[in-house]
Structure 1
């Protein structure tokens, strides 16, 4: 997955804003939750990715969610929240339950749920008076479209083990990228 320089700037701003810059205090559990999510996703892999090379695809993560110079705190929180919600929804399906180890899947879903709860309070505070997103397309819509492509891919591949492995690696890579950026900035 290749990111353009403007996209990296946007992603750094969105996902690695120092915790103190938000009007609410994001709990430290959110940062620990990201690490836990990465760990559990890593443990979930049970199919050799080499055997699934033919199933790889580019899900086209939204490169131009927002202009880097116009990112607002509420937008950043909203995008992070939407990403976590979509990941939760993706793995909280009957098809997912049929593929993954239930103990690990429950750990993943529990961790994502805690992170979502932690973010919701801050998101509500930040969104407080902001009605508009500067006339731009809501960046969370781009995230939803990205996850819609993932859902369609899984349907096309009939929720095969290889398809789920490709998705797991995609999500883990994305979360790892976010985690590394936040470690560098903080």
Structure 2
């Protein structure tokens, strides 16, 4: 019995990667998929952002998404995951499909889903730690509030073409921040290698 227990413990320890998360491995592929998502968002533009200046709004991109240096590794992974999940939710709606080229939109949603699935292994061991450790308005709640503001804005603007253009540009900012966080995480762990 002691041998079996020792063997199980050894397997658990071996399964922890350099990042310390069970089954978590950030690769260059994760960053490349993120960049492809940005390219798709760039192609989705149907209006000139200048023609929608009257609809501009500062959504208050959370510092947690921009300056991941202040976050612990597990919090940063949770912030990236939540950003991707909320971005997917914004673009995986009926009003969104009416606003965009469906082929590009489908490719974007597929890319976001792929990133989410890749991060699941990193997220599972840390679920629930992010917000409770900081108390009150933790990084995940801040990201959720940010995206709630985006959804309210779309409703207020009745999903107009200009509103979606403003959101497209804002999502490019949010996803660019996610890529930067992923790159930082990969460098911290030394995991970001080609695969």
**Range of TM-score over shorter length:** 0.7 to 0.9
Alignment correspondent of 2:45: 45
- Given that 1:73 and 1:126 are in contact with CA atoms closer than 8 Å, whether structure 2 keeps it comes out as no
Partner of 1:144, secondary structure, is helix
How do residues 56-67 of structure 1 correspond to structure 2 at under 5 angstroms? Answer: 56-63=56-63
Corresponding residue number in structure 2 for 1:78:
78
Consecutive unaligned residues of structure 1, counting only runs of 5 or more, are 1-18
> Partners of 2:37 and 2:152 in 1: how far apart?
24
CA gap 1:79/1:45 in 2 versus in 1, 3 angstroms: same
Q: Cα deviation per residue 1:117-147 (whole Å; 9 max; x = unaligned)?
A: 000111113449x597424233111111100
Q: CA deviation at 1:30?
A: 1.2
- The 2-side partners of 1:131 and 1:40 are apart by 30
TM-score, structure 2 length as denominator?
A: 0.74
How does 1:1-186 map onto structure 2 within 5 Å?
A: 21-23=19-21, 24-63=24-63, 71-127=71-127, 130=129, 133-137=132-136, 138-179=138-179, 186=187
SS at structure 1 position matched to 2:133: coil
Over aligned residues, Cα RMSD in angstroms?
2.8
Is the deviation greater in 118-127 or in 150-159?
118-127
Measure how far apart 1:176 and its partner are: 2.6
CA–CA distance in structure 1, aligned partners of residues 69 and 39 of structure 2: 33
| Structure 1 runs (4+) greater than 6 angstroms displaced | 67-70
Point out the more displaced range, 116-125 or 131-140: 131-140
What is the CA deviation profile of residues 165-184 of structure 1, one whole-angstrom value per residue up to 9, with x for unaligned ones? 00000111232344356668
Greater shift, 39-48 or 56-65, is seen at 56-65
Q: Indicate conservation of the 8 Å contact 2:38/2:175, yes or no.
A: yes
How many residue pairs get matched? 166
Bigger drift between 117-126 and 164-173 goes to 117-126
Q: For the structure 1 residues 121 and 32, does the alpha-carbon distance in structure 2 shift closer, same or farther, using more than 3 Å as the test?
A: same
Change in 2 beyond 3 A, CA 1:118/1:82: same
